[in-house]
Amino acid sequence: MNQAKVPVWVSIALIPFINVMLAFFVSALVILALGEDPIEAAGYLIYGAFGYEEGIGYTLYYATNLIFTGLAVSVAFKAGLFNIGGEGQAYIGGLGVGLVCLWFDSSLPLMVIAPLAIIGGALFGAAWAYIPAYLQARRGSHVVITTIMFNFIASSLMVYLLVNWLKQDGRMSPNSRTFEESAWLPYMHELLAPFGIELSESPLNASFLWALICCVFVWGLIWHTRWGYQLRTLGTNATAAVYAGIDNSKVTIWVMLISGGLAGFVGLNEIMGVNHSLLLNFTAGYGFAGIAVSLMGRNHPVGIIVAAILFGALYQGGSELAFEIPTITPEIVVVIQGLVILFSGALENMLKDRIEGFFIRKSVA
């Protein structure tokens, strides 16, 4: 009931902002302890992320992955499910994308391969989420446990496939062959050049547009369809869902399928957009960072875009920072990222009650 008296902007903007600022404050202390100037460091970080075209390109390229995994977490979360298997689903989704590219790159044009790759990534990611979903819905095994286990299984499976089946003959590195160019997603700088928009080269590619489309799709699905209605009913009041004749097991399963499919799209960006071959560990923790993105973005597509760009900026600005100030090693940058995740994700509710309480008291007074 108290929720009503807290202004909306407080919970969707002020609290996340304060959390991030707290994280930056602690990061500043870390940098001070290293004997460096935090203000200068912040300057490099911001410049690195947003100061020039290539930097922005990198920021958005990282953000693309985080939008996919953030959406994946949020769809499940809206149904009351905590899918922390985004990492594995992204990995296997990437396999789907890669296989499509490997099979069709010499026979079909991009206009056909791209939709096939989207389907491939979605199907493989969804398939990887299906087993935990089934076990949750029909056997009561908690998805948190099973999805995390499936991350490890995905990791082992990919090593096996790449080493034994997909590796190029005669090469040491466990990569597939490089795809023909017909299976490369166009870079944004290529895509926009015909329209007279000149961008510096960066890994940002067409999958960013697909990420935005997915945001619209998720928004429509959750708030404007009967499936979304069922999903939200299940997520907010499972008893009411039973009363309404909603088949909770069925909803659980297809929500997880959508969630896994969304995570699988990371492969579009990484495999088809940038690396142009199947390789190990391309998911690099995006699946886990997606949890923080989703939490910080309040499980809403718009919030997720904002949070994903923030985290993308941390990735990109952070590497710039490590380059400019050698005392701040890449490991310290990871510490800063970790602090942001800690404060905006894990400690999300630390200040919430106090801040909301302040506004409730103010509105009562």
Binding site for other proteins (CB under 8 A): 1, 3-4, 220, 224-226, 229-230, 232-233, 236-237, 239-240, 242-247
Which residue, 47 or 229, is less far from other proteins as judged by CB?
Answer: 229
* Cβ at position 157, least distance to other proteins in Å: 35
* Cβ at position 299, least distance to other proteins in Å: 13
Which residue, 139 or 226, is less far from other proteins as judged by CB?
Answer: 226
Which residue, 230 or 319, is less far from other proteins as judged by CB?
Answer: 230
Which residue, 134 or 219, is less far from other proteins as judged by CB?
Answer: 219
* Cβ at position 6, least distance to other proteins in Å: 13
284: left (phi over 0), alpha (psi -120 to 50) or beta: left
* Cβ at position 230, least distance to other proteins in Å: 7
Residues 6+ apart with CB under 8 A from 159: 174, 280
- CA atoms within 13 A of residue 14's CA, in its CB half-sphere: 14
User: Tokens for 239?
Assistant: 């008893």
Alpha-carbon gap, residue 263 to 300, rounded angstroms:
16
Eight-state DSSP code of residue 347: T
User: Tokens for 263?
Assistant: 């995570």
36: left (phi over 0), alpha (psi -120 to 50) or beta: beta
Eight-state DSSP code of residue 282: T
Which residue, 24 or 227, is less far from other proteins as judged by CB?
Answer: 227
Alpha-carbon gap, residue 16 to 289, rounded angstroms:
16
* Cβ at position 223, least distance to other proteins in Å: 9
